[in-house]
Amino acid sequence: MTTVERGRTAMMRTGLSKPLSIALADDLLTPDTSVFDYGCGRGGDVLRLKTLGYDASGWDPNHAADLPRKEADVVNLGYVVNVIEDPHERVSVLHSAWSLARRALIVAARPDWEARYVQGRSHGDGIITTKGTFQKFFKQDELRAWIDNYLTVRSIAAAPGVFYVFREDSTSHTFLANRVRNRRAYRRVEIDESLLETQRSALQPLVDFVAERGRVPDVTEIPNSDELKNTFPTVKHAIAVIRQTIPNDTWARAQEAARRDLTVYLALTAFGGRTKFTNLPEDIQFDVKALYDSYRAACESADQLLFSLADQAALNKACSSAAFGKLTPEALYVHVSAINRLDPVLRVYEGCGRALTGTVDGATLVKLNRVEPKVSYLNYPEFDRDPHPALNTSLRADLRRLHVKYTDFGSSQNPPILHRKETFVADDYPRRDTFARLTSQEERASLLDDARAIGTQERWKARLDQAGLRLAGHRLVRARPAE
C-alpha cells in the first residue's frame, strides 16, 4: 500500500501565495473582508494577511489541526485539492470549503504544464513525487469543469490554475464588470480654476466618478457626500456645477468609453447566460439606464459584437484598422497596456481568451489570431529594457476547443525575439519614441529587410556581426574591431 506524505507538501514562502496575491490585486479582499485559509499549511498566508490588517485565520489537517474551521467572507482553498490522492475526498474537501464561504471561494491547483518539472511515478490520476507526496495536475478547462460540476455553479477564471466561485450572482457580475472597466485608463478631468479651492476639492471625487462611469452618480453612490453638502447648497447644485465645468467633448468621450466598457461586459456575460436586468448589481443598472435607451438595446448591441467574432471578415477588418499593434498575415499583436483601447469587437475577442485563462501574470503582448479563434498571452520580461527582448513563455487559449496550451522558451538557446517594438504600443506609451528611433536606425542600416533572417536571437546576432554593428541600449553603433 502506498503511503502519501501529505504534510510534506506545505511550502515555506517569503510572500503571499499566488491565489491570495491575485485576490488582493483583483480587490476581492478589501479591508473589511474576513479570510479563512482552508489547508493553510504552516500558516504563512494567515500571518501575512494579519500583518496587512486582515481578519484572517486558517486550518490544516497536518500543521494546524487543533484550530477551528469557521466561516469567512472569502475562503482560500489554495493548492489543496491537487495533493489529495483520493478523488472522493477531493470533492468532500471542496464542498467543505464552499460551505464556509459567505461571499467567495478561491480554488487553486497546479496546472498541467507544471508536470514536466516534477519527477515521480504514476499513481491514480496523478503521481507520487520523489518526496513521497501526491500531485494531481489539472488542465485549465478540467479544473473549471470539476469545480462547476460538484458545486453546481459557474466559476470564473482568475488566473491559470486559479478560479473564483461567488456565492451571489450580483457579486460575480460586479467582479466581471470591474475587470473590463478597470483595464481602461481614465483621464483625470481638471476642474475650472475659477472655482474656489474648497469647491474643487469637494467636486474632484464627483468629477472622477463621471470620468470613470460616463454618468453622474445616483444619490446612493455619491462620494464624499458630507463634504459636498457642506460646500454646496444641495447635491443637485454640485452636479449642475460639474456639468458646466466639464467641456461637452470631454463629457461625450467619457460617456462613449463607458458605453463601450458596458457593451463589452454584457457581451462576455452571454457565455454564462445573461441575467435579468433586475438581477444586475444596482450600479450596473444605473449604467444601463444612463448609457442606453433600455437593457434590451444594450444586450442587442452586445450580441452584435459577439456575432462579429464569428465573421472572419469583420474580425480581420477590426485587426487591420487598429490604430496600433503589429499586424501580420496571421495575427495582430498588441501590448497588454493598450488592449482596452482596441475596437470593442477585439476587446471581446481578447475577453473570450481571458475567460479561459484568467489574467495571465507577466503577459506583455496579446496575440489575436486572424486565421483561427485563438488568443495568446506572450511574456517578454525585458520588453522595456532590452532593445530586442526574448520570448520567455506563451499561454494560448484555443476558443474552439476550449483548451489552454503553455509553452516555455526560458531554457531555449535560441528563442524568438522582437523588432519594431513601437508598433506594439499606443502613442503615449513611455519610451515609444526611443523604440521608434532604434527602428529607424536599423532600417537605414538595412537590417530589417528580411524578417525571416532576424526572428531569433542567433540569427539577429549573426546579422549584426555581418554588418559590423552592435547595440548599446536602444542605439545602433559600430562594433569594435577584434584585437
Domains of the chain, first to last? 6-167 (3.40.50.150), 168-309 (no CATH), 323-421 (no CATH), 430-478 (no CATH)
DSSP state at residue 362 = T
Long-range contacts of residues 112-117, Cβ cutoff 8 Å, at least 24 apart: 112/137, 112/138, 112/139, 112/140, 112/142, 113/137, 113/406, 113/408
DSSP state of 66: T
Cα 121 to Cα 191: distance, rounded to the nearest angstrom: 66
Model confidence at 297, in pLDDT bands (50, 70, 90)?
very high
Min mean pLDDT across 219-233, 318-332, 444-458, 460-474 is at 219-233
pLDDT higher than 80, residue 334 = yes
Q: What is the rounded end-to-end Cα distance, in angstroms, of the chain?
A: 68
Nearest to 283 by CA among 204, 208, 210, 217: 217
pLDDT, tens only, 209-251: 888 899 988 888 887 777 777 888 877 888 888 888 788 888 8
Mean pLDDT for 280-296 is: 96
For residue 203, give every residue at least 6 positions away whose Cβ sits within 8 Å of its Cβ, in sequence order, or none.
Answer: 191, 195, 228, 238, 241, 242, 245
The position carrying cell 453622474 is 216
| Cα-based distances in Å from 389 to 83, 257, 429, 435 | 37, 33, 17, 12
Determine the pLDDT at residue 246: 80
Mean pLDDT of the chain: 91
For β-strands 156-159 and 374-379, DSSP reports them as unpaired
For residues 255-284, one letter each, b for 16 or more C-beta atoms within 10 angstroms of the residue's C-beta and e for the rest, the string is bebbbbbbbbbbbbbeeeebeeeeebbeeb
Question: Quick check: 11 pLDDT over 60?
Answer: no
The three-class DSSP label of residue 291 is: helix
* pLDDT band of 5, cuts 50, 70, 90: low
Q: How confident is the model at residue 187 (pLDDT cuts 50, 70, 90)?
A: low
**What's the grid cell of residue 185?**
485608463
Instruction: Please report the pLDDT score of residue 4 as a whole number.
Output: 66
**Grid cell for residue 28:** 476581492
392: its cell numbers: 520567455
475-478 and 120-123 strand pairing: unpaired
Confidence of residue 376 (pLDDT cuts 50, 70, 90): very high
Q: What pLDDT was estimated at residue 204?
A: 83
User: Closest Cα partner for 161 from 191, 141, 181, 186?
Assistant: 141
Say which amino acid occupies 73: D
Q: Locate the DSSP E strands across 370-472.
A: 374-379, 393-398, 403-408, 469-472
Written as nine digits, the cell of 443 is 532600417
Q: Can you give the pLDDT at residue 430?
A: 93
More confident: 91 or 184: 91
Are 45 and 37 within 8 A, CB to CB?
A: yes
Q: HSE of 473 in the Cβ direction (CA atoms, 13 Å)?
A: 5
Which pairing describes strands 55-59 and 34-38: parallel, antiparallel, or unpaired?
Answer: parallel
Q: Provide the pLDDT for residue 304.
A: 92
User: Strand 156-159 vs strand 403-408: parallel, antiparallel, or unpaired?
Assistant: unpaired
pLDDT at position 80: 97
What average pLDDT score do residues 442-470 get? 93
Position 195 confidence tier, pLDDT thresholds 50, 70, 90: low
What whole-number distance in Å separates Cα of residue 192 and Cα of residue 247?
10
Q: Which segments within 51-201 are labelled E, that is strand? A: 55-59, 72-78, 101-108, 120-123, 126-129, 134-135, 156-159, 162-166
Specify the pairing of strand 34-38 against strand 72-78.
parallel
pLDDT band per the 50, 70, 90 thresholds, residue 206: confident
pLDDT over threshold 70, residue 111: yes
Query: pTM here?
Result: 0.91
